[in-house]
A and B are shown apart, each in its own frame.
Chain A
Amino acid sequence: MEKVRAEIRAAFEKEQAAHPPIMVLRRNVVEAVIDQPRRETNYQWLAVAAALLLGILVVMGLMSTRLVRPTIAPVTHKIPVGDLGPPPAGVPLVYIHDPNHPGWLIGIDWNGKARGTVKFDKSLTYLRMAPDGSLFGGDSQRQGKGGITEYYDRLGNPIASPSSTSALLIQPSQMWADDNRHLCGVSYSPTFAWTFVTQLPGEATRTVGVVSQEQGIGQTSVSLASCSFRNDQAILVRIAVASPTDMWVIRISDGKVIRHVTFPSLNLATIIASRDSAFFAENPSKSTEQQGPSMTATVRRVSDLSAVATLKPEQGVLAFSADDSLVLVTTSPWVDGVPTHFAVIDVKSGKVRWTYEGQEVLGSFLAQPDGNGFVIALKGSGQGQDPARDLLIVRGDGTETKIPDRYVPAW
């Protein structure tokens, strides 16, 4: 069956590749739809539909006997690597590096199953995926093009850029937007301006606006906490001497500052925002250090700054789930070389859905782009420079899948 699956997928892939959707499909369709009036509810049709649904349910009840799909079981076998064929369309995947083929990435789904291979030139470095795996960026070292970021579609085909020098480098201070298509970044100019910019791979960078203008190189920096094209707002944070001092909520479409919040106390370690820029968490310094004043991390709503949850002093928010219902938190200070303990907590109820109290150190993490799971990369406390990680997929219901073996993540 697997061989047939690969053959059928490859055949469809060939058909689909000849006629990809237009780049602005989503925007065009949504804009056209919103201009249309919505029809009032027709209860006669609803009654007919309900009768039909009842009939279908009866038939389904009669037909579903032995062929019901089993529930998801933990992955107990090794992840297959190598050429698994093109990855499926429309399925969010998490990419890891194929240990046997430099430049190849293996896409695994959120159940831990390997679904496809994307092959890149092995000279590309710093390969990074968009959160849903639909785009990639990598630094080209070919033919003297050292350090230039190139972009690729989900099958690894290059996306032409109008000017390679205008490409945003995918560095920690930059991020993919919540639409998984745009890149957002903050640039620092010789005129001491921190400027918020965005870019659609294949297009020129767009300046949204200057956020702050100051000379404190080395002492201050401005970075992105979130960038939501779906909600048309981004959150940027100014850090001074390793502590957040300011937060700006900026409308992406016109660069207007919607809200400016200052944090006069230097007892905060980080500001973490949800991908849709609707919530943010103030993490106390104790969440990243062994010592510090006893403060609690607070999750706030961006619209009115009201507190929606308060954590314990040693806890700090690492990430929000895509639906904002859960937070991934450290339950012990995240200090390099010391085993990190963490948990997934329901924001509304405070209920702990999942915990980790093992001996490994948190490496990196990624929130599931269309659900409420997280993937977490762990490294051994004495691992040194080896980039391979143990990978844990944690789902919103508290179940987890540990990927066998260690892999280098591509996020």
Chain B
Amino acid sequence: MSRTETGELNFDALIGPHLEAGYRTALAFLRNPDEAHDAVQESAFKAWRKLHQLRKGSPARPWFLAIVANHCRSERRKRWWSVIRVPEVEAVDHEMQTENVDINRALATLPREDRLALFLYFYLDLPMEEVGAVLGVSSAAAKMRVYRAAKKLRPGLEMD
């Protein structure tokens, strides 16, 4: 088996299972499926080049998702015009209950970092340690960020 094939197997085994989560994270952040596909591809290139930095035995998922999140932040910073773009991922069901409509709208207006924290914790169900790793903060700080973001949606919310 060639080195390329071995590398492909290693990369696929390590990062392959997390590519879908990477795409979904990028979609939640960028809110554009084409940009999200580009972001996960670019992030995979970065992960491939930096694979040696992943310590043996360390979880690959938060490491890769952190690369995706950083790439998405970088993309937003590059595009000054993005602030006036209309979000393309918007689907409000008219039959939806009022409470859910409110939370959909509220989510759409949250700052991206807040949305990211909520997405990682509530949608991807990452443990708080991994949320912290992706956001680049401690698990305690990540918990606080998730709580504060959720409180913006539901002001009366109490932390568990």
Which of chain A's residues has its CB closest to B96's CB? A14
Q: Are A60 and B28 in contact (CB under 8 A)?
A: no
How many residues on chain B are close to A (CB under 8 Å)? 65
B144 lies within 8 A of chain A by Cβ: yes
Flag A84-112 by CB within 8 Å of B: 1 or 0 each. Answer: 00001111000000000000000001000
Do A18 and B119 form a contact, CB below 8 Å, given A8-B107, A38-B48, A59-B138?
A: no
Given contacts A4-B157, A64-B139, contact A90 B11 (CB under 8 A): no
Partner of B136, one of A32, A56, A370: A56
Shortest CB-to-CB span from B11 to chain A, Å, is: 6
Q: CB distance A69 to B123 under 8 Å?
A: no
* Chain A residues positioned under 8 Å from B75 (CB to CB): none
Q: Please, how many residues of chain A have a CB less than 8 angstroms from a CB on the other chain?
A: 50
What residues of B have a CB within 8 angstroms of the CB of A1 in the complex?
150, 157-160
Footprint of A on B, CB under 8 Å?
4, 7-9, 11-13, 15-21, 23-24, 27-28, 31, 33, 36-37, 40-41, 44-45, 47-49, 51-53, 89, 91, 93, 99-100, 103-104, 107, 118-119, 122-125, 127-129, 132, 136-141, 143-144, 150, 153-154, 157-160
Question: 9 closest A-B pairs (Cβ-Cβ)?
Answer: A19-B33, A90-B21, A60-B138, A67-B140, A88-B125, A12-B123, A21-B23, A8-B122, A33-B48
- Given A8-B107, A21-B24, A90-B24, 10 more contacts at CB 8 Å? A7-B100, A11-B103, A15-B28, A16-B24, A16-B28, A19-B33, A26-B16, A29-B41, A60-B140, A66-B140
A-B CB contact pairs (8 Å), 22 listed: A4-B150, A7-B100, A8-B123, A9-B122, A11-B107, A12-B118, A13-B123, A15-B31, A18-B89, A25-B37, A28-B41, A29-B19, A30-B11, A34-B7, A34-B8, A38-B48, A39-B49, A46-B53, A59-B138, A69-B128, A90-B18, A90-B124
